[in-house]
Amino acid sequence: MLASELDFELPSDRIAQSPTDRRDRSRLLVYRRKKREVSHHHFHELTELLPSDLSIFRNDVSVLKARLPGKRPTGGTVECLLLRPEGTLVDTWRCLLKPGGKTARAGKFFLPDEYEATVLESLPSGEYRVQFDLPKDDDPADLAQRIGALPLPPYVRRPADETDELRYQTVYANTKNRTAVAAPTAGLHFTPEILQRLEEDGHSIHNLTLSVGLGTFRPIETERIEDHPMHAEEYSIGPKAKKALLAKDRNKLAIGTTSVRTIEHYLSDTDPKPEKPTVAKANLFIRPPYSFRGVDHLLTNFHLPGSTLLCLVAAFLSPGKEDGLAILKDLYAQAVASEYRFFSYGDAMLIL
């Protein structure tokens, strides 16, 4: 498959710049694969649309306020985006720097009374290894939560504000898992009331954690999608969620592509210790024709042209076959014509 096939027409006014007034007031396109049937709803109707007795899997990661302000020794401003810790080194992280070249040549940047940072290495990926000296905090993540800003996606053309601090997190985000630089956006539509109704209806809900990175926004730049080097993201999954995944008595609904990647990567390997938590890195590139091991239904947002996430959704629309991309393009064209809102703060699609 050629990367050019992942393009589609999207008017700029269809890209959501802010969330709906209520989480569950977003719209919901439902696609039933067996009948190839489309219907249009709002998210608060979700509980009426789902099959019975599902095991539901969601990503409980929390978004780090990863955008740090700083200055170079010459006085120029620096923006540092924390990406992830470098191995077991608490004070050393991989980061993006703006401006990158000038800051790397300066070798250092800082914020008075808050931190000093040394640029250890410029990496081929465009990232930098940065070591922090922190007079007030135990690690850079603690510093970021005090003085940083949420890293809204690049297509949201405004700075983050107080509303985003609430709405760019899921209501079930676990603050102990504050390791993402982007939200698992399919989960942003849920309210506590909807979650309660799901449990009252007999569905079971299970948490897993995948640390969403910037790779989720990076387009495929190779001519053939098979040649694209897939980014890796760390995930963890506990024994209870594993048991539910391995059980055969219930169909499984994944909330978002991050949950799908976690589930499919975990099930792609034999687990010698299913009674213990698993921590691993998901680097599975899901694209047509792919047959899914552990996901029967998918709730997802509308994704970027040219992205690996489009490949995953296309594969899910027609598992094991090659025609999923054509179905996806037709559904997206219908969504554009029906004025759905796209991307992180946009509307959702339920694939049954």
pLDDT tens figures, 43-82: 999 999 999 999 999 999 999 999 999 999 999 999 999 9
Which of 115, 148, 181 is a domain's end point? 148
- On whether residue 156 sits in a domain, the answer given is no
| 119 and 228 part of one domain | no
Which of 148, 182, 197 is a domain's end point? 148
Residue 143 structure tokens? 């510093």
Residue 137 structure tokens? 């905090």
User: Within 13 Å of residue 100, how many CA atoms lie on the same side as its CB?
Assistant: 14
Residue 302 structure tokens? 């509308």
Instruction: Quickly list H helices, 268-319.
Output: 308-317
Distance between CA atoms of 169 and 153, rounded to whole angstroms? 13
Which of 148, 173, 201 is a domain's end point? 148
The CATH number assigned to the domain holding 88 equals 2.40.10.240
- On whether residue 113 sits in a domain, the answer given is yes
The three-point CA angle 314-316-320 to 5° equals 95
Distance between CA atoms of 83 and 60, rounded to whole angstroms? 18
According to the model, what pLDDT value does residue 73 have?
96
| 212 and 84 part of one domain | no
Residue 67 structure tokens? 């955008």
According to the model, what pLDDT value does residue 328 have?
98
Number of domains in the chain: 2
Distance between CA atoms of 23 and 14, rounded to whole angstroms? 18
176: number of Cβ within 10 Å: 9
Residues spanned by the domain of 236? 3-63+163-351
According to the model, what pLDDT value does residue 165 have?
93
| 272 and 244 part of one domain | yes
According to the model, what pLDDT value does residue 272 have?
72
- On whether residue 91 sits in a domain, the answer given is yes
| 96 and 243 part of one domain | no
Distance between CA atoms of 146 and 7, rounded to whole angstroms? 40
- On whether residue 157 sits in a domain, the answer given is no
The CATH number assigned to the domain holding 330 equals 3.40.1780.10
| 50 and 121 part of one domain | no
Taken in order 71, 77, 81, 87, the sign of the CA dihedral is negative
According to the model, what pLDDT value does residue 125 have?
84
Report the length, in residues, of the chain: 352
| 53 and 196 part of one domain | yes
Phi and psi angles of residue 237, each rounded to the nearest 5 degrees, phi first:
-145, 130
AA identity, residue 130: V
| 87 and 232 part of one domain | no
Strand 108-111 with 128-133, pairing? unpaired
The three-point CA angle 43-57-23 to 5° equals 25
Residues 58, 260 contacting (CB under 8 angstroms)? no
| 87 and 228 part of one domain | no
- On whether residue 233 sits in a domain, the answer given is yes
- On whether residue 154 sits in a domain, the answer given is no
According to the model, what pLDDT value does residue 3 have?
85
- On whether residue 155 sits in a domain, the answer given is no
Q: Which residues, 6 or more positions from 231, have their beta carbon under 8 angstroms from its beta carbon?
A: 213, 215, 216, 218, 283
If residue 111 lies in a helix (H) or strand (E), which one and from where to where?
A: strand 108-111
Residues 295, 316 contacting (CB under 8 angstroms)? yes
Give every residue of the chain whose pLDDT is below 50, as ranges: none
- On whether residue 153 sits in a domain, the answer given is no
The torsion defined by the Cα of 7, 226, 214 and 253, in degrees rounded to 10, comes to 80
AA identity, residue 221: E
Residue 136 structure tokens? 């007030």
Model pTM above 0.85: yes
Residue 262 structure tokens? 């976690």
Quick check: helix, strand or coil at residue 169? Answer: coil
According to the model, what pLDDT value does residue 89 have?
78
206: number of Cβ within 10 Å: 19
Quick check: helix, strand or coil at residue 100? Answer: helix
Residue 350 structure tokens? 């339920």
| 196 and 282 part of one domain | yes
- Say how far residue 181 (Cα) sits from the centre of its chain: 9
| 213 and 126 part of one domain | no
| 213 and 94 part of one domain | no
Distance between CA atoms of 265 and 58, rounded to whole angstroms? 15
Residues 187, 298 contacting (CB under 8 angstroms)? no
According to the model, what pLDDT value does residue 25 have?
97
According to the model, what pLDDT value does residue 252 have?
98
| 200 and 330 part of one domain | yes
